[in-house]
Amino acid sequence: FEENNGLFMRLFQTINQNKVPMTVPVEARMKPGTMVFYLDTGSAGRENLQLPKGVSRQVLPERMVASIGIRGGYSRESYEQNLAKLREWLKTQPLWRAAGEPYGVYWNSPFMVPFLKRSEIHIPVLKKNK
């Protein structure tokens, strides 16, 4: 969370420099601190994107996730509290098991009024074997 605006600004500069549409949501992985944003179909096919050091383009596979929605400012405390709720809920699910590390999904700019912000936490899941 200490790095969040720095990561967002790097992505924002990439978007501005390449004149690609800003998309939501933005994913944030806590360890290591990384951010992911999605390119629209037209931009994803461009060969001339200029990516600064520390920014890469990747194709991510489809995934199934368990998620919890969050309202309010983006903070470590809120993330940890809601992650605990999501993990507890997932333990009660007979068909699904965690299959990866959790990550945050953020729908609003860092400059949005905190009480209006929306975010989620996702945990990749797979069906349990019976």
Report the pLDDT value the prediction gives residue 4, as an integer from 0 to 100: 57
Domain ranges of the chain: 1-42+62-130
User: Is-contact 26 8, C-beta < 8 A?
Assistant: yes
pTM: 0.83
Report the pLDDT value the prediction gives residue 1, as an integer from 0 to 100: 54
Residue 60 has pLDDT above 80, yes or no: yes
Residues 21, 38: Cα–Cα separation, whole Å: 10
Report the pLDDT value the prediction gives residue 130, as an integer from 0 to 100: 66
Q: Which residue has the higher pLDDT, 63 or 4?
A: 63
Residues 74, 76: Cα–Cα separation, whole Å: 7
Residues 14, 120: Cα–Cα separation, whole Å: 24
Report the pLDDT value the prediction gives residue 43, as an integer from 0 to 100: 87
pLDDT (tens digit per residue) in 82-99: 999 999 999 999 999 999
pLDDT (tens digit per residue) in 18-43: 898 888 888 888 777 788 888 888 88
Report the pLDDT value the prediction gives residue 3, as an integer from 0 to 100: 53
